[in-house]
Amino acid sequence: MHLLDRIDRWARRAPERLAHISGERALTYGELVRRSDALAAYLAETLGGDHTPVVVLGHKEPELLVGYLGAVKAGHPYVPVDTIVPAQRLERIVALAGARLVLTPDQIAALSADPVPAPRGRRVEGEAPYYILFTSGSTGEPKGVVITLANLTVFLDWMVAEHDFAEAETFLNQVPYTFDVSLMDTAVGLVSGGTVFSIRREDVAVPKRLFQALAASNVTTWVSTPSFAQVCLAERTFARPMLPRVRRFLFCGEVLPPQVVAQLLERFPGAEVWNTYGPTECTVATTSIKVDHEVLARYSPLPIGRPMPGVQMPILGPDGAPVPPGERGEIIIAGPNVSPGYLGRPDLTARAFFELGGQRAYHTGDWGHEQDGLLFCDGRMDNQVKLHGYRIELGDVEANLRALPGVQDAVVLPVLKEGVAQWLAAFVILGPQAPPGSDFARAQALAAQLGERVPSYMVPRRFLFVDTFPMTPNGKADRKALAERLA
């Protein structure tokens, strides 16, 4: 059944059931469908027959879900952009997407107020783009990953089959909508008739508010990055009495530390903990494993599990041939969940995507190996890092630093604790137009200027000013030698 029909069905069966809760605000299934129909009618009239992406800008407002569904009901993929993205980068995303409309929650509320039926025969189908997510690009330009309805449907069907979600579950939505892990709670939640419970940035910033919100949430399915669970686990009362109904914790997006699982199993007896893995280019997640006491006792680091049905994940060596079990190589994903590529970038698409055994395949850029029939992710082959769950190409930060008038050159590195990135540090060679003042004042000035170009989570916390970079024999900045200076 079409994803939109699966959601509409709940609006007919349980129109008063809550589809979304965000702070003091809530949206029923009836309203979600009625409003998204009305918005779709408006978009069909305004944009005519084209299929240009529609940018939907906001944080966790209930209108955003109306915006996403409204766009696809009118045949347009949506591009979620969080308010954490500065104006300059938003402008680039709008231009790169070729979007003719940027919708804010207020606009969506106004445009969807009157009940108007959705246009007929317009919605996104099959191989057409359903959403486009802009991720960090190594040259400083965000790149748009195109995900089709067919891609998303494969993912949703797998999730629903694997987890036997009960009707009317509550799904925790903490991850920003710009990060596809959010579809593990929003899309999975809506097709299974559940309630999506959003935690907003402003709630996370104030621990008392965060835990009050969680205690009031009634969450049954927890979806987040491991980093967020780690933040919660620092609070002693984050345990069964706070979330009495929680049945499962689903993690994705970064390494799941065994200590996090151990604490969750202890504090939430009876709940399952799942590790899932996958890049945005392969639609949210591609592998999974339930991490129980046995898996926990046996493996450290933890495995990422097995691929979803219909997907091949060979581990290839530098010669392009599969490596024997136990040996390290690149993780490849081939299957119906693999994106058609990057929007408007055939060059980048050709580099990362290829055909394998008649299926579309993607070079993940992750080192991996197989052991006991399970896959393990052994880190990146390139300069992409995960910082508190955010995917960042260090080259993106460097290119945006170099674009500042006072910067001649820059190398950005993650500062690690037990192998996990904690924050970013930038080594900077200043140019003639360097900001004046002490190193501290200069660092502040650069951080402020950079913050106008990239989201705040990409701004280095520490700036180190140097005259030259140490060089490798082939004339590149020696990142290893610089990293040693941070140790």
What is the contact surface with ligand AMP in residues (CB under 6 A)? 252-256, 275, 277, 279-280, 304, 364, 366, 377, 380, 386, 391
Q: Toward ligand AMP, which CB reaches closer, 93 or 430? A: 93
Query: Taking the complex as a whole, how short is the minimal distance between the CB of residue 190 and ligand AMP, in angstroms?
Result: 20
Query: Taking the complex as a whole, how short is the minimal distance between the CB of residue 179 and ligand AMP, in angstroms?
Result: 6
Mapping DSSP to helix (H, G, I), strand (E, B) and coil, where does residue 256 land?
Answer: coil
Q: How far apart are CA 333 and CA 321, in angstroms?
A: 14
Q: Toward ligand AMP, which CB reaches closer, 27 or 252? A: 252
Query: Taking the complex as a whole, how short is the minimal distance between the CB of residue 29 and ligand AMP, in angstroms?
Result: 28
What secondary structure letter does DSSP report for 338?
A: S
Q: How many CB atoms neighbour CB 351 within 10 A? A: 12
Query: Taking the complex as a whole, how short is the minimal distance between the CB of residue 401 and ligand AMP, in angstroms?
Result: 22
The tokens for 407 are 């910067």
Q: Toward ligand AMP, which CB reaches closer, 356 or 464? A: 356
Q: How many CB atoms neighbour CB 353 within 10 A? A: 18
Q: Toward ligand AMP, which CB reaches closer, 42 or 353? A: 353
Q: Toward ligand AMP, which CB reaches closer, 43 or 188? A: 188
Query: Taking the complex as a whole, how short is the minimal distance between the CB of residue 365 and ligand AMP, in angstroms?
Result: 6
Query: How are the residues of the chain apportioned to helix, strand and coil, as percentages rounded to the nearest 5?
Result: 35, 30, 40
Among residues 228, 127, 122, which one has the least CA distance to residue 181? 228
Query: Taking the complex as a whole, how short is the minimal distance between the CB of residue 366 and ligand AMP, in angstroms?
Result: 5
Query: Taking the complex as a whole, how short is the minimal distance between the CB of residue 37 and ligand AMP, in angstroms?
Result: 31
Query: Taking the complex as a whole, how short is the minimal distance between the CB of residue 367 and ligand AMP, in angstroms?
Result: 9
Query: Taking the complex as a whole, how short is the minimal distance between the CB of residue 323 and ligand AMP, in angstroms?
Result: 18
